Amino acid sequence: MKYAIVGCGSRHSMFSESLTFDYGDQHELLALCDSNSHRLGLAAEFASKPGTNGVATYAADQFDAMITEQKPDTVIIATPDYLHADYMVRAFRAGCDVICEKPMTIDLKSLKQITQAQKETGRQLLVAFNYRYSPARTQIKNILSSGQIGEITAVDFQWHLDRVHGADYFRRWHRHKDNSGGLLVHKSTHHFDLLNWWLDAVPTHVSASGKRAFYTPAMGAELGLDGRGPRCATCAVAERCDFELDMDADSKLKALYRDAEGEDGYHRDLCVFDDDIGIEDTLQAHIRYTTGATANYTLTAYSPWEGLEIRFHGTKGLLTHKHVETHGVFGGERAHAGKDDVETILHLAGERPRALDVPAGEGHHGGADPIMLGYIFDPDGMEPDSYGRSSNHVAGGWSILTGIAANLSIETGAQVDIGHMLAAHEIDLK
């Protein structure tokens, strides 16, 4: 298979490395496309194999020419979220299948464009929901599907972003909803997709609340950071700020972003206490599903620890899962954990709770990334996927609809009926 990648930021490297090294004997990475020529050059240098002419490179406005000239079978999209739909539709209409980083897109207008283009062209889309492939999360799917805790009636789901990882969404392009849809779309798409997959259901109604409680100018002042600058690199109080991101001290961040600033003026280290940040850091949603189950979901982006806690209430018992995570360090130090710590407890009615042996994997995201990449690039070499972990445009759409509905509920103060919302925008998600 022949591939092209559009978007050469940090997330593209997972796909580039797989196509260049791990699965380079089965596939060919033909071309790379990006709006920043510096990052494009770095990506091309990494992906070029000795003894070859290298990988073709194209500027963002040459995307269509790239497809015409290189004729890839599949385009991998790893751009900022608000650009996903445009590249996806253009790839579909040019005869390519698509692999897209999450979220699939950020709003109803672009969701409609994607679904219409997919229906008209019949091209295939895979959304890279790596969390589905984590051995620990797959174990939960297996337990729930087996009926061990009976009918699932309610779920309590808390996701904690700590002050290292969580802060990072407030210093870069994600901090504007027009770019990312806010954390309920950009980040929570993972979590809502897991719920849809675990419950084998889709959401019907959502009510939500949200606010920016921590990453505010007032909190900056409370922390004694008066006189702070617009970005860490030039900030007069950076040395006494726990949220400083020193890109010059991190070789990867320096090469990928600091050294690329002259190309487009994009700053990766904006102040997390800026007044113009437009996303919330404290979010809660109540979700109803087609099965009759309900879920209460909470996301905070300033927790003292990183990870998730989830409880599945069933007619025969209770399943609880907790994962303290340590990946995703973008400046700063974590005091809460030196390694990932995972526990799953099954408590059936009339019995004592049992701590289960949780399967572990090697690699990023609890071992999920290598498994997902294996199914993407070498499906014949993997065991048959009895868990249905691959995600198409339908699963990608439903994963963002909870977040889109939650954003609308925050804006209006009303419960959102997702079916009515789809009908009003003439979206047929099939």
- Asked whether residue 270 is assigned to any structural domain, the reply reads no
pTM over 0.75: yes
Domain with residue 46: its CATH number is 3.40.50.720
Q: Choose the final residue of a domain: 113, 129, 145.
A: 129
Whether residues 143 and 188 share a domain: the answer is yes
- Asked whether residue 83 is assigned to any structural domain, the reply reads yes
Q: Print the domain residue range for 77.
A: 2-129
Whether residues 226 and 102 share a domain: the answer is no
- What pLDDT is stored for residue 51 in this prediction? 72
- Asked whether residue 368 is assigned to any structural domain, the reply reads no
- Asked whether residue 120 is assigned to any structural domain, the reply reads yes
pLDDT tens-place string over residues 101-160? 999 999 999 999 999 999 999 999 999 999 999 999 999 999 999 999 999 999 999 999
Evaluate whether 117 touches 89 at the Cβ level (below 8 Å): yes
Structure tokens at 4: 């092209």
Whether residues 339 and 235 share a domain: the answer is no
Whether residues 172 and 256 share a domain: the answer is no
pLDDT tens-place string over residues 179-209? 999 999 999 999 999 999 999 999 999 999 9
Evaluate whether 228 touches 152 at the Cβ level (below 8 Å): no
Cα(336)–Cα(355) distance, integer angstroms: 22
> Mean pLDDT, to the nearest integer, of 23-36?
96
What's the distance, CA 93 to chain centroid?
25
Domain with residue 355: its CATH number is 3.30.360.10
Pairing of strands 203-211, 416-417: antiparallel
CA distance to 26, 82, 166, 175, 274, per residue, from 215 (Å) = 46, 23, 10, 11, 8
The 10 Å Cβ neighbour count of residue 254 is: 15
- Asked whether residue 333 is assigned to any structural domain, the reply reads yes
- Asked whether residue 48 is assigned to any structural domain, the reply reads yes
Residues 6+ apart with CB under 8 A from 82: 106, 110, 178, 179, 180
Q: Choose the final residue of a domain: 78, 101, 129.
A: 129
Whether residues 52 and 200 share a domain: the answer is no
Whether residues 308 and 174 share a domain: the answer is yes
Whether residues 71 and 202 share a domain: the answer is no
DSSP state letter for 247 = G
- Asked whether residue 38 is assigned to any structural domain, the reply reads yes
The percent of residues in the chain predicted with pLDDT above 70, rounded, is 96
DSSP state letter for 358 = P
Whether residues 295 and 185 share a domain: the answer is yes
> Mean pLDDT, to the nearest integer, of 306-320?
97
Whether residues 142 and 55 share a domain: the answer is no
Q: Choose the final residue of a domain: 129, 157, 180.
A: 129
Buried b (16+ CB within 10 A) or exposed e, 313-328: bbeebebbbebbbbee
Cis bond upstream, residue 370 (ω within 30): no
Cα(408)–Cα(420) distance, integer angstroms: 13
- Asked whether residue 239 is assigned to any structural domain, the reply reads yes
Whether residues 284 and 194 share a domain: the answer is yes
Evaluate whether 132 touches 367 at the Cβ level (below 8 Å): no
Whether residues 223 and 201 share a domain: the answer is no
pLDDT bucket at 50, cuts 50 / 70 / 90: confident
Whether residues 317 and 400 share a domain: the answer is yes
Residues 6+ apart with CB under 8 A from 128: 99, 100, 101, 102, 372, 376, 391
Domain count, the chain: 3
Strands in 187-340 per DSSP E: 203-211, 282-289, 294-303, 307-314, 317-324
pLDDT tens-place string over residues 367-411? 789 999 999 999 999 999 999 999 999 999 999 999 999 999 999
State the Cα torsion 383-384-388-394 to the nearest 10°: 110
